[in-house]
Structure 1
Amino acid sequence: MRTNKLRINQLSQETYKWYLTYLEAIDTRDVETYSRFLAEDCQMQSNNNPPVQGKAAIVQFLADYWKTFASLEHDLLNIYGSDSAFVLEALNHYKRNDGKDVTLKAVAFTDRNEAGFVTSVRFYTDTAELFA
């Protein structure tokens, strides 16, 4: 994960540390660790695709999705919002399964409940080049 381009961060220090750990689970594609951040009734939506409902379904979705590329690294640009609802603007650096490097602009909206578990994630990026 890269943080040297992070310009604006509106999260508290505690939530920022939590979020870096959350993103690290994504970057390492560790679905078991990632699942520990999710509320049981969490919902995830990518672009205009139908939402994935529930922690178990999200875990299965990500286990399958993360096999479609070789690696991912988040490059944080800005984090706006509060500790319970925020948006990340980032560059996502992928290595495709054919070895080609691809960088995509992305945003991810995250909501957390009072216990700190993720209840909703909506991420938006044009993945055409990743899967070309």
Structure 2
Amino acid sequence: MITSNLRINQLSDDAYQSYLRYLEVLDDKDIDAYAAFLADDVSIQFGNAPAVEGKAAVVEMLGGYWQSFKSIEHDLTNIYGTDRSYVLEALNHYERHDGKKVTVRAVAFTDKDEDGLVSSIRVFGDTSALFEA
């Protein structure tokens, strides 16, 4: 994860540190550690695709998606919002299984429930280059 390009961070220090741990397990593609951050009724939506609902379904979908590329590294540029509802603007640096490197400009809207677990994620970015032949 790259944090040196972070210009604006509106989260408290505790929320920011928690978010960094969340992004670290995402960059590590550690689905079990990632699942610990999720509420049972979490939903995730990528662009205009239908939302995936429920922790088990989200874990299954992400587990498969994360296998479609070799690595990902988040390069944080801005975090706007509150400790419970925020948006990350980032450059996501991927490496495909063929070694090609792809960078995707993306934003991710995240909401947390009263227990501090992620209840909703909406991600917007064009990942088509990641899957080009």
TM-score (norm 2): 0.98
**In 2, Cα distance between equivalents of 1:33 and 1:7:** 28
Corresponding position of 1:74: 74
**In 2, Cα distance between equivalents of 1:98 and 1:56:** 30
Corresponding position of 2:46: 46
**In 2, Cα distance between equivalents of 1:48 and 1:68:** 20
1:104 is the counterpart of 2:104: yes
Corresponding position of 1:13: 13
**In 1, Cα distance between equivalents of 2:82 and 2:70:** 32
Identity of aligned residues (%): 56
Q: What is the CA distance between 1:47 and its match in structure 2?
A: 0.8
Give the secondary-structure state (helix, strand or coil) at the position aligned to 1:98: coil
Q: What is the CA distance between 1:114 and its match in structure 2?
A: 1.4
**In 2, Cα distance between equivalents of 1:45 and 1:129:** 19
Q: What is the CA distance between 1:110 and its match in structure 2?
A: 0.1
Corresponding position of 1:25: 25
**In 2, Cα distance between equivalents of 1:78 and 1:63:** 27
**In 1, Cα distance between equivalents of 2:18 and 2:85:** 13
Corresponding position of 1:131: 131
- Identify unmatched segments of 5+ residues in structure 1: none
Q: What is the CA distance between 1:98 and its match in structure 2?
A: 0.7
- Identify unmatched segments of 5+ residues in structure 2: none
TM-score (norm 1): 0.99
CA-to-partner distance for each residue in 1:13-62, whole Å, 9 max, x for gaps?
A: 00000000000111000000000000000000011111000000000001
Q: Which contiguous aligned blocks of 4+ residues in structure 1 show a shift greater than 3 angstroms?
A: none
Q: How many residues align?
A: 132
